[in-house]
Amino acid sequence: MIIHIISVGRLKDKWLREGCAEYIKMISGHAQIRETEIPDEKLPDSPSEKLIAQALSAEAERITAAIPKGSAVIAMCIEGKQLSSEELSAGLDDLCLQGKSTVTVLIGSSYGLADSLKARADVRLSMSRMTFPHRLAKVMLCEQIYRALSISSGGRYHK
């Protein structure tokens, strides 16, 4: 299995980059992992809805170009389904059984993802109903992917 994480923007904090790198290293023991960082559109401090929509559209074009052909797509979005770690693990297993060798997970900017990306996703996934800082999303996602793969392989991490 290949896990491809496409995220908008760069992690600026060293500790966040190090956290992601650690989980990515652990994931690589279970699956191939690829990362693509898409530049975010620069917006003023209080952008209008129109400016936000334009930015999301521009980001969506770059994200779409980076999605491998034939990949299953998981869109991280607030209105997505909330899954337990075990359910995420089973969902990834199911995608493999369906012949999807690549799973691409999309993390949008702090304004989210364009509706066009959500519509094309095979799965819409939400981390929680709680609010977390956007900059933690990638680290949390990497941890949950590692946990899901560990569950699938019968590893001890999940215990």
Total tally of structural domains belonging to the chain: 1
Q: What was the pLDDT predicted at 112?
A: 93
Q: Which residues pair with residue 8 across a beta bridge?
A: 38
Is the distance from CB of 62 to CB of 38 less than 8 angstroms?
A: yes
The count of other CB atoms within 10 Å of the CB of residue 29 is 12
* Domain membership flag for residue 107: yes
* Domain membership flag for residue 115: yes
pLDDT band at 158 (very low <50, low <70, confident <90, very high): low
pLDDT in tens, 69-81: 999 999 999 999 9
* Domain membership flag for residue 157: no
3-class secondary-structure state, position 62: helix
Please state the rounded mean pLDDT for residues 44-63. 96
CATH number assigned to the domain comprising residue 10 = 3.40.1280.10
Domain that holds residue 113: 2-41+49-152
Please state the rounded mean pLDDT for residues 44-49. 93
State the Cα torsion 9-12-14-15 to the nearest 10°.
-70
Evaluate if residue 14 carries a pLDDT over 90.
yes
* Domain membership flag for residue 68: yes
Q: What was the pLDDT predicted at 132?
A: 84
52 Cα distance to chain centroid: 20
* Domain membership flag for residue 158: no
Q: Where are the beta strands (DSSP E) in the chain?
A: 2-8, 32-38, 72-82, 102-107, 123-126
